[in-house]
Amino acid sequence: MTETLSLEVERSPRELLLARAGDILQRGAVVNAGIAAVVLLLGLIAGTHIIANLFDLLRGVLLVRYSGTADLALAVVILLALLNVSLLLVVMVGVVAREVWTLPALVLVVIGNLAALVLLGFTPALVTIGFALWAGVVLRTDTQAFRVNPVMLKELRGRMRGVRAFAVMTVYLGLMSGFTLLLYLIYGTVARSSGSAAAGEIGRVLFLGVVGIELLLIIFIAPAFTAGAITGERERQTYDLLQTTLLATPSFVIGKLESALGYILLLLLSGIPLESIAFLFGGVTELELVLAFIILLVTAIALGTVGIYFSAAMPRTLVANVRAYSVILGAMFIAPVIASAVLNMINNLLFMRAGAPLSPFFEALTRYLDLLLTSVNPVETGLSTQSLLVDQRVLGFYAYTLRSDGSTIPLVSPWITFTIIYLAISAVLVVLTIRRTKETSI
């Protein structure tokens, strides 16, 4: 018996190729994160006005064709770089898990960055385009490596079979319709008695009600779909079988996640007609519908990954469920209350000590802190995004005028920061889940 250990036998050429492409994309994400950090730092320096015209200089270099103010330009650059980080990480996970959607996603990343380069003059796009093309060149020799995820296919076949999936959907839509009707009747009565029944207001209330209920359902459904994904396989003792096959851990984790999110996506899509009832009364725009959908979907993705992380980290489904729900309910309902209380306290404290309106620096700081806290909670994000959209017609970036000295700071509608933060959390959790699953496997 020979004892030669050759790594060529251990990893097939295809696996080596995929690992290399994954590394390239990861490097691209790291470089983009670096760009965001450096620009943030330079922005802070520029904010102190120590170096004259630094803002304009940076805009001239990073966002050549942008017509807004220079400080806003920096915010755009930072967010675009962070968006590229998330996208490259997602594609990287896709490459390692050999997902079919990887190559189209890679092409979309390149096209998106090209568009940003041409339309906004977003020069850092060249970095992302470079890394994406490099990965594409590496993968070009073996496009056969990508395939439909077998775990996802298996799970969806099981989930969609028989009457169960359709019964769940019927009950879900039935409850939602009942709730909408109830809301309409209650609101109609109240409005009639008070004598002010603007149709637009009914529409807005119905829309908010339906989206709110959907969000609540997602908070409860998403972790339930994923918390048993890995522990369930262990408990049914099918996990051993999978481990002795050549199925890679990333494929397993991504497949589980895709199948759970696929079904949630179906539930969300089937809810759109109900949300659209608001259009009959007016007061709600298509844009709000799209934004609500994005916020719901991003919430589902993040909560789903929380569930799957605990499924990998915990030995049993029950424990995984308990942990996932404690963390999610804590983050969704308890943390915002505490956070806003703390923010209020800081606000009061600073205000009282100064005995006058806040200094511009602290006011700006509290505004940013407020934005951050808003964007870690889907409910607050939704409400704040809607009020910005309706009251100020703001969808993306805007200049906020400080009350203290009348100067402006760049701010962004919270749905953008929310999406980036939640997707980043999801990407990190997926990577951790893969690591956890591998640890327990030998």
Helices (H), 48-147: 54-62, 70-96, 102-120, 125-139
Cβ atoms of residues 32 and 84 within 8 Å: yes
Q: Is 9 in the site for another protein (CB under 8 A)?
A: yes
Cβ atoms of 418 and 295 closer than 8 Å: yes
Q: Is residue 48 a contact residue for another protein (CB under 8 A)?
A: no
Is residue 67 a contact point for another protein (CB under 8 A)? no
Interface characters, 99-138, with another protein (x: CB under 8 A): ----------------------------------------
Burial 68-85 (b: 16+ CB within 10 A, else e): ebbbbbbbbbbbbbbbbb
Q: Which of these, 264, 240, 263, lies nearest to 158 by C-alpha position?
A: 263
Minimum CB distance to another protein smaller for 27 or for 159? 159
Q: Any contact of residue 143 with another protein (CB under 8 A)?
A: no
Report the Cα 106 to chain-centroid distance in Å.
Answer: 18
Q: How far is the CB of 244 from another protein (least distance, A)?
A: 4
Stretch that binds another protein, among 1-9, 289-297, 370-378, 387-395 (CB under 8 A): 1-9
C-alpha 141, offset from chain centre: 32
Binding mask 153-172 for another protein (x = CB under 8 A): xx--xxx-xx----------
Residue 412's DSSP bridge partners are 397
User: What's the closest the beta carbon of residue 317 comes to another protein, in angstroms?
Assistant: 15
Which residue from 67, 245, 337, 406 is in contact with another protein, where contact means CB under 8 A?
A: 245
Q: Which of 41, 65, 100, 240 binds another protein (CB under 8 A)?
A: 240
Q: Is 283 left (phi over 0), alpha (psi -120 to 50) or beta?
A: left
Contact by Cβ (8 Å): 86, 420:
yes
Count residues binding another protein (CB under 8 A): 30
The residue assigned the tokens 């100020």 is: 392
Based on the shown chain and the rule CB under 8 A, indicate whether residue 238 belongs to the binding site for another protein: yes
* Residue 270 makes contact with another protein by CB under 8 A: no
Asked whether position 1 contacts another protein by CB under 8 A, the answer is yes
Q: What angle do CA 283, 289, 292 make, to 5 degrees?
A: 120
Hey, which residues does 147 pair with through a beta bridge?
99
**Residue 144 sits in the site that holds another protein (CB under 8 A):** yes
Q: What is the C-alpha to C-alpha distance for residues 222 and 284, in angstroms, rounded to an integer?
A: 27
Which listed range, 109-117, 140-148, 322-330, 423-431, lies at the site for another protein (CB under 8 A)? Answer: 140-148
Least distance to another protein, CB of residue 162, Å: 7
Residues forming contacts to another protein in the complex (CB under 8 A) are: 1-3, 5, 9-11, 144, 147-148, 150, 153-154, 157-159, 161-162, 236-238, 240-247, 442
